Amino acid sequence: MSTTRRVVVDTDTGIDDAHTLLYLAGRPDAEIVAITSVFGNCVEEDAVRNIGYVNRLLGLSVPVARGAAEPLSGTAHIARHVHGKDGLGDRGYDRPMPAVVGETAAELLVRLANEQPGELDLLALGPLTNLGLALRLDPALFTKYRSVVLMGGSGPYAHPGRLLMIDANVNNDPVAARAVFSAPRNELVMVGVNVTAVTILSEPAIAALRATGTPIARFATEILDSYLDFYQKEWGRRIIPLHDPLAAGILLDPGFATGAALGPVNVVGDGFLWRARLMRTVEGLPPSFPYEPAPDTRVITEVDSARFVNDFVATLTRS
């Protein structure tokens, strides 16, 4: 089997999603096979326009399919306050609608899996609506992907008294997320906010990107301002977590994950938010309430953040 990961990317193309596409395109062991759009960081129309913009910047020509503009149930929550109204920090980029295939995102995900079973990896970076729709078309879909890696979820239950960052992807479509975590699969990997929130692009790393001056590095830093504006309210510093890029990094190099647990994941609500959680306490015990059985998900619990951040910066600053 080839060591190159051939990746289908499902994305709500905001700032860290754009960074992820740049990172995948810069890694010699990755090939982007197709990209599908979904609502989330911005409305779906902006998400697909942003895919087109990044693809032109990269000189990338791959099939693009338009996906869901709203969740399977409920109302979409668009993260304009984080990613800007257009998803790329409102820099005024010319973003014409790209050419798209004549099938929906869900249909494309199903077709590619059936045409190339066991050869492709699916990387989900936004709300899981397209994946939920695809599972309605083919309930065995995930058994036909080499792996499914998603940025979302909250890991195991936290230490008592410790609160976690909101996981917008699961919260934006808990119905689809529940379908994803209950579906049969070869391998499903959850890279949640428990690990992405501590994988920080620091001031020196951002300065290194700014100093490079290549079109890729320049774009990567141009779109950061609204993201930095948001996260400085959390930490008092102009730094950001590498949410989506970390999921891509672990797909390509599982060694970036230094801790993981296997077990069932449920989507649970607290009256305000929905989260995907491994049904284990921090001590590794089952929770104190009944939960739904589900196939094992590989839930990342610890990462080598420093090594990943170094690789991310090196990849985006490579000529």
**Is 77 annotated as catalytic?**
no
- Residue 192 CA to residue 177 CA, distance in Å, equals 13
Smallest CA-to-CA distance from 300 within 180, 191, 186, 170 is with 191
- Residue 174 CA to residue 159 CA, distance in Å, equals 24
Smallest CA-to-CA distance from 130 within 120, 121, 118, 141 is with 141
Tokens of 168: 């917008």
- Residue 5 CA to residue 13 CA, distance in Å, equals 21
- Residue 248 CA to residue 245 CA, distance in Å, equals 5
- DSSP code for 99: P
- Residue 286 CA to residue 247 CA, distance in Å, equals 26
Smallest CA-to-CA distance from 84 within 22, 15, 137 is with 15
- Give per-residue burial for 17-29: e unless 16+ CB within 10 Å, then b: bbbbbbbbbbbee
Q: Are strands 188-191 and 297-303 parallel, antiparallel or unpaired?
A: parallel
Residue 160 CB contacts under 8 Å (≥ 6 apart), including other chains: none
- Residue 149 CA to residue 151 CA, distance in Å, equals 7
Tokens of 160: 């008592």
CA distances from 132 to 1, 38, 106, 263, 317 (A): 28, 12, 8, 20, 36
- Residue 18 CA to residue 140 CA, distance in Å, equals 30
Of how many residues is the chain composed?
319
Show which residues are catalytic: 243
